[in-house]
Structure 1
Amino acid sequence: MNGMALTNDDRTHVKHAPGNGRGFRAAAGLTPRWLWVVAAGLFLTALNLRPAISGLGPLLEEVRHGLGMSGTVAGLLTSLPALCFAVFGVTAPRLARRYGPAAVVLAGMAAVALGTALRPLAGGTGVFLATSTLALAGIAVGNVLMPVLVKRYFPDRIGTMTGLYSMALAGGTAAAAALTVPLTQAIGGGWRTGLGVWSVPAVLAALLWVVVLLRERRGRRGTGETHGSVRPGGENGARREPAPRIMRSPTAWALAVFFGLQSTGAYVTLGWMPQIFRDAGVPATTAGVLVAVIMGMGVPLAFVLPRLAAGMRRQGGLLAVLGVSGLAAYAGLWLAPAAGAWLWALLLGVAMCAFPVVLTLIGMRARTGAGVAGLSAFAQSTGYLLSLPGPLIVGLLYDTTGGWDGPLLFMIVLMALQIGIGFLAGRDRCVEDES
């Protein structure tokens, strides 16, 4: 449809989402050549969805000392992403219907750029939390609308494009975790410089979406379409489909709970894993690289696993394999954190790839664009809300016990629950049928 042959996983998605590809190029006002620009926009946006978080982990100890944070407040800081994603992510579908998903993602990238640029200027915890919240609000709308943008611009290639942006998301996460400390040392200026540098790629992403929106507007003018004839957030100018009642769907709830459990693991990893390694005697730079290895595993696997998941009728077995890898990693960190650090990082990196798989399931478990938007907002916002206590509990357990045995046991229990919920989330059902 866009000049590229359909793969098996893409045909699977067309089967699950009939009729969503009708005239999408005309509705977007873009030629196939310009769809490559949209793909670049998706890639660059995904690249910016985690550096504001993963870049903080390796410098958390320095930030705590610089701003006078206690362990409990630091735990709250590591819970802040989940809180912002839950609160701001739920607003994304309504904003997208009014202004269009691309325009909202543009605003989100602008917020990320501004928040990450202002955060290093904070003189106290309050300002640091406020500027972090601004950046995280921009990330939140990007989280929810990425599957919507894929459904809108590439309805016949959902598996491939989800894999592409998931790979970019993992790459951005790993790059920030690995490079923040070396950049801080090379540039100078302490932790403030190391955090502020990540505003630059967000500016580039925002500029690319400006180009896409200007081209869409020019395309609509060229075809004589008015603003009212093609809704900015609509599907191809066709009749808007009513959104299903997501909260009545057991599959939506399974996806939300699974999303919450895997998010808990991800944010505990981003927020506390560098400290776990450092407390085990691993140097700070190496601890950052180990976290980069964890997230970097998602670069190749995030491109492969969504395509693999899309070719399956049920994905519970695949999610179980990823969960068992996580169980082995946490057990290893409990028993020999320094001696097997690289192995535990690799295993935990495999477990973290549950994230691109669940993103793929969001695209597969709804037939319409409205259904995907509603399911994405519900699963992500509810999931992030459920994940809120996790990093805070880890911080409290660490402060209370003075070690990592309690937090790691807590993570083992959550991973076992994630495996069980994965079988429910992986069933071959659509939310429209259940709601």
Structure 2
Amino acid sequence: MIRRSSVIVLAAILLLAVNLRPTAVSVGPVLEEVRDGLHMGAGGVSLLTSLPVLAFALFGAIAPLLARRYGVHRVTLLSLFAVAIGLLGRSLADEEPVFLLLSMLALAGMALANVLLPSLVKLHFPDRVGQVTALYTTMLAVGLTLALMLTVPISHAGGGWRTGLGIWALVAVIAAIPWLPMVAHDHAIDPSPHTVGFLEVLRTPIGVSMIVFFGLQSLQAYVVFGWFATMWRDAGFSATAAGLLVGLVAATSIPLSLWAPVALARSARPRRILLCFMICYPIGYAALLIDPHRLAIPAALLIGAGTVVFPLVLVLINLRSRTPAGTAALSSVAQSVGYLIAGIGPFAIGLIHEHTGGWTWPLCVLIVVCVPQTVVGLMCGRPVYVEDQLRDPARTAV
């Protein structure tokens, strides 16, 4: 392991985490302005909203391979450069294809870093996985909340949507600074010649379970952040108020993300903690079915608590692997394939909303999705390890 101050390494990880959501969500608040400014058609807009899923599927899968070949810190630094160049470049683009290409570059960097984060924690803080995961997932929520709430005000302050999107490139450049000294003595995630392959993990029960669990919880998050502002506007809220409600969903997860991953890592019965957060989703959806206007704030708080399942999944990726290489492979499998599952959500919910003319059926579908998520989440809470299942496919634990 590179011998660097743990404070510097922790700061680097936290700054990296802040940058892993604005790339994907900063476009949403100014999508209308971007579409008008670049004269984008419906196909271009649909492609733009699908790029995050495509990036996670394509680039998340190769992250461990790149890390083994070039070094985890070098790949992480390059991912931040890709984010910065892509975000700055697309804010200056005048043509739709250039904007989409540079958006994909930024999202590719985000996808690589997102997959490598759990292995970086395992590498540098093997005895403090829960605490460090709690910190960096909290910073993920901070970055998400800031992007949702500040992109529009920054756009209105001057320069329009270009400034609102381009400012996040500066944040990525700042985040790259502490990674610079770490690349000089970089090495692979695991110096052992015995690596854990992507396809191997796909054949393990824990690998499949983590894919489904990660995919279903991400599906709900994509739907919430992609459609719920529209739902609340349909319920009678102004555009500003609807945006603030979505921001409340994101902000609710910040304090909970500081506590929940640590508690899960230390708990002798992690499935109880998982269950407590997983049931928040269906209760919040049920509140919206009853009265989406008067129960908007309680529903936002409950759904925000449900989104804490995401940092809990990241902790489980570490807890269900014994080595940094195993963590990287399990993270790659769970995220790259899981995000393909997640990508179905916004598209399907949009179609259901369009064909039913309301939000009753979409909310009912989301409640149904909570059932398999809860089942597979409890399965992932069992104390099993991907390396053990690779050595002995029949090995399980209750």
TM-score normalised by length of structure 1: 0.84
Q: Contact 2:87/2:102 (CA < 8 Å) preserved in 1?
A: yes
The answer to whether structure 1 residue 372 and structure 2 residue 327 are counterparts is yes
Q: Contact 1:51/1:172 (CA < 8 Å) preserved in 2?
A: yes
Q: Contact 2:23/2:110 (CA < 8 Å) preserved in 1?
A: no
SS across alignment from 1:28: coil
> In structure 2, what is the Cα distance between the partners aligned to 1:317 and 1:74?
41
Name the structure 1 match of 2:336: 381
Q: Report 1:47-196 matches (<5 A).
A: 47-67=18-38, 74-185=45-156, 187-196=157-166
Higher relative contact order (CA 8 A, sep 6+): 1
The answer to whether structure 1 residue 278 and structure 2 residue 249 are counterparts is no
Alpha-carbon RMSD across the aligned residues, in angstroms, is 2.1
Q: Deviations over 1:188-211 (max 9, x none)?
A: 233232222211111111122113
Q: Contact 1:178/1:291 (CA < 8 Å) preserved in 2?
A: no
Name the structure 1 match of 2:196: 243
Q: Deviations over 1:169-188 (max 9, x none)?
A: 01110111111222222x22
2:379 to 419, 424, 431: 424
> In structure 2, what is the Cα distance between the partners aligned to 1:325 and 1:57?
25
Tell me: CA distance 1:119–1:282, structure 2 relative to 1, closer, same or farther (3 Å): farther
Name the structure 2 match of 1:228: none
Tell me: CA distance 1:125–1:408, structure 2 relative to 1, closer, same or farther (3 Å): farther
Name the structure 1 match of 2:2: 28
Q: Contact 1:75/1:394 (CA < 8 Å) preserved in 2?
A: no
1:202 to 172, 185, 194: 172
Unaligned runs of 5+ in 2: 391-398
The answer to whether structure 1 residue 255 and structure 2 residue 229 are counterparts is no
Name the structure 2 match of 1:323: 278
Name the structure 2 match of 1:221: none
Name the structure 1 match of 2:395: none
Q: Contact 1:113/1:203 (CA < 8 Å) preserved in 2?
A: yes
Name the structure 1 match of 2:292: 337
Q: Contact 1:72/1:399 (CA < 8 Å) preserved in 2?
A: no
Q: Contact 1:75/1:396 (CA < 8 Å) preserved in 2?
A: no
> In structure 2, what is the Cα distance between the partners aligned to 1:132 and 1:102?
23
Q: Contact 2:226/2:346 (CA < 8 Å) preserved in 1?
A: yes
Counterpart amino acid of residue 248 in structure 1: R
Deviation of 1:37 after TM superposition, in Å, equals 0.7
> In structure 2, what is the Cα distance between the partners aligned to 1:287 and 1:309?
32
2:182 to 212, 215, 221: 212
Counterpart amino acid of residue 2 in structure 2: A
Tell me: CA distance 1:240–1:144, structure 2 relative to 1, closer, same or farther (3 Å): same
Q: Contact 1:71/1:395 (CA < 8 Å) preserved in 2?
A: no
> In structure 2, what is the Cα distance between the partners aligned to 1:51 and 1:388?
18
My pick for the range that moved more, 137-146 or 333-342, is 333-342
Query: What is the number of residues matched between the two proteins?
Result: 388
Counterpart amino acid of residue 367 in structure 2: I
SS across alignment from 2:153: helix
TM-score normalised by length of structure 2: 0.91
Counterpart amino acid of residue 331 in structure 2: S
Q: Contact 1:43/1:165 (CA < 8 Å) preserved in 2?
A: yes
Name the structure 1 match of 2:305: 350
SS across alignment from 2:183: helix
Q: Contact 2:317/2:330 (CA < 8 Å) preserved in 1?
A: yes
Q: Contact 1:78/1:392 (CA < 8 Å) preserved in 2?
A: no
Q: Contact 1:78/1:268 (CA < 8 Å) preserved in 2?
A: no
Q: Deviations over 1:70-114 (max 9, x none)?
A: 677645433321221111001110110111111111111111111
Name the structure 1 match of 2:358: 403
Name the structure 1 match of 2:187: 232
> In structure 2, what is the Cα distance between the partners aligned to 1:413 and 1:128?
37
Tell me: CA distance 1:283–1:399, structure 2 relative to 1, closer, same or farther (3 Å): same
Q: Deviations over 1:258-280 (max 9, x none)?
A: 00001111112222222222232
My pick for the range that moved more, 41-50 or 100-109, is 100-109
SS across alignment from 1:260: helix
Unaligned runs of 5+ in 1: 1-26, 218-230
Tell me: CA distance 1:132–1:269, structure 2 relative to 1, closer, same or farther (3 Å): farther
> In structure 2, what is the Cα distance between the partners aligned to 1:206 and 1:410?
41
Tell me: CA distance 1:361–1:305, structure 2 relative to 1, closer, same or farther (3 Å): same
Deviation of 1:355 after TM superposition, in Å, equals 0.5
Q: Percent identity?
A: 44
Q: Contact 1:72/1:396 (CA < 8 Å) preserved in 2?
A: no
My pick for the range that moved more, 254-263 or 295-304, is 295-304
Deviation of 1:241 after TM superposition, in Å, equals 3.5
